[in-house]
Structure 1
């Protein structure tokens, strides 16, 4: 009889123990959360122009040389060089392409059915292409740029010294000649400063047969125009860039920190459940749980060869400032990095130091963080946080 009673108590105790363990395990269940990308993006640098930047005004002067028909047999035929003047404006809408609208005018002299001269103005719409930016890296401070261009235009000639050998369908002499030339050319652009360039360019234009005041001979007349002058760049000549894949490393970092915290919480919960499940109940010893200080998730990313904090990254400096104000006993180390594929190790060390220094200056001067709570550390390119090269243009924060 006593054995049966003891067996009954033992069975009840086992059922209670199983219920306590199950209850404790349910109490510490952790929902798994993973931060993932929602949309595939194309990696690579994308360039954009700030509003009002990359407009230019071109002012120049030079020479022109008409190359037209020789009409009469035995007539002396000379090439006449005359002065020409130019003004144009345009915009670089990408680091590679620009449009330009301009006018060139002056007086030209020709030997076509006798010597003659006239005044003219030629307006062109051009498409320009920066070869060095297309075949090499995009650099706004490059000293020399080689820029081919093509253009369509309209030309008017008037004020002939002698009536041209051109007649209307009614037999009257034409005193004004209209042409619609096509042209190709090459411009060499030399950077003097952010806002001024010197340029030298040549344009070869193909005109109709009436350009020289005569419709006899070749069907096409040609004109060579060589100019030099200055480009005035409004808003500077610079393009900003961003890479939509730069945030992928940040997402992976967040995933790792979430998983670490979830694992620490699960371990602590399991230890607590094991203590509560002990029968009879001894004095419970609280397990040592890892210090769950708030991780410093904010980072500050930079563009290539730059220590400037962009407007899109300022919010991350602000977040660190707010965290430090909420945790007045915590100090922070500001670690600057540079990617190893750009620049030398010594240059990258100085660049990473400038990046960290600029973040330090913003925290202390704009957000009022005491300087003694911050430490600057330059890592250069010897230490790479991420496997993807471009992700290492970064400043990372850690608790001191």
Structure 2
């Protein structure tokens, strides 16, 4: 019997020593997606732009082909507000106008000046404006993938609008618009733009009906655009935690040794004549390794990929010592936003992970502690993306 107790005490002493001395080295890295077409979708109010431009245009009326090219040119302006939903697809609302110049036989919008008496043509001028909504397709980003350092892009667009002249005879017609929006980056905020557009309206818009069903105009406008923050897209990231294979092998060997010792102990107890000793239970007391979940900038939504990892983490928590409590700590990137936003964002991220563990995977709320640190400096690898995170670790 004395031998049994000696063996029991020795086994627990060895187990305690192994538990205290065994530390598995780990390395946390952040892998950035290399897919040139894959980006993190920004919020609705990100990637907006506003622009103005001025240039020249000429109108295709019933008799305007009788004019010299230089005589048909008129000043043009444009103003627009838009947003990019993705690097390749955007939309805008635009206003363009000032004046159209042409010739007329029936006197519509006539200036009274004879242009060609042999053809009964008088000079024609009338003011107009065209309000239209366009959908833009950035060919460089759609075909070549998104690059943050790209300087020049070409974006064909199509749209519908409402073209109006208040000069007598007045007209209001639906317009169809087709063009190419070219953009050259001057800085993070400003672009130099060249907008080439064709517009079509009903033949009666200039006050004179002819053989054609539609009339139109060509416009070229050089301008500048301002891009509001957020101006770029981030690549998706994945946090990879790797452990030392040598340390893992050492741990496996020690677990095997513990199992052998446990079997020997049970055998000794079974052979003992002492009735007061009936069974020996060795309770598992394993701490689950910490987990880090990252978030896109300005967001606290838990991705499906993170939920999968949290599911494994929750299972490991509930299969081990129920006395261990884990702290769920939220962080934000100090270099982005302001202290108030980062305080709220880090709290929302902590609550999001807490809710997933409790509501989706059944971890008792009593085993979790919520905490948040607001905006913090770069915590790992001098990479701000790893600071937009939640870390769950045993207390």
* Bin for the TM-score computed over the shorter chain: 0.5 to 0.7
- Indicate the residue corresponding to 1:193 in structure 2: 187
Q: Counterparts of 1:265 and 1:310 in 2: how far apart (Å)?
A: 42
- Indicate the residue corresponding to 1:273 in structure 2: 263
8 Å Cα contact 2:47-2:230 kept in structure 1: yes
Q: Indicate yes or no: 2:210 matched with 1:216.
A: yes
8 Å Cα contact 2:51-2:79 kept in structure 1: yes
8 Å Cα contact 2:90-2:136 kept in structure 1: yes
**Which consecutive residues of structure 2, in runs of 5 or more, have no partner in the other structure?**
16-33, 106-120, 273-284, 303-372, 383-395
How many pairs align? 249
Q: Counterparts of 2:158 and 2:138 in 1: how far apart (Å)?
A: 12
- Indicate the residue corresponding to 2:151 in structure 1: 143
- Indicate the residue corresponding to 2:74 in structure 1: 82
- 3-state SS of paired residue (1:214): coil
Q: Counterparts of 1:367 and 1:70 in 2: how far apart (Å)?
A: 69
Distance 1:70 1:139, change over 3 A: same
TM-score normalized with structure 1 length: 0.52
Deviation at 1:275, TM superposition (A): 5.6
- Indicate the residue corresponding to 1:119 in structure 2: 127
Counterparts of 1:1-400 in structure 2, within 5 Å, are 45-50=38-43, 52-70=45-63, 76-79=66-69, 80-113=72-105, 114=121, 115-159=123-167, 175-242=169-236, 246=238, 264-274=254-264, 277=267, 297-298=290-291
Deviation at 1:218, TM superposition (A): 1.2
Deviations, residues 122-159 of structure 1 (Å, cap 9, x unaligned): 11100011111111221233100110000101111233
Distance 1:121 1:257, change over 3 A: farther
8 Å Cα contact 1:123-1:155 kept in structure 2: yes
- 3-state SS of paired residue (1:139): coil
Q: Counterparts of 2:226 and 2:298 in 1: how far apart (Å)?
A: 27
Distance 1:153 1:47, change over 3 A: same
- 3-state SS of paired residue (1:265): helix
- 3-state SS of paired residue (1:211): helix
Deviations, residues 277-330 of structure 1 (Å, cap 9, x unaligned): 46999xxxxxxxxxx997865568799xxxx999899xxxxxxxxxxxxxxxxx
Bigger radius of gyration: 1
Bigger Cα displacement from structure 2, 261-270 vs 189-198: 261-270
Calculate the aligned-residue CA RMSD, in Å: 4.5
**Which consecutive residues of structure 1, in runs of 5 or more, have no partner in the other structure?**
1-16, 29-42, 161-174, 282-291, 314-362, 378-400
Q: Counterparts of 1:241 and 1:368 in 2: how far apart (Å)?
A: 18
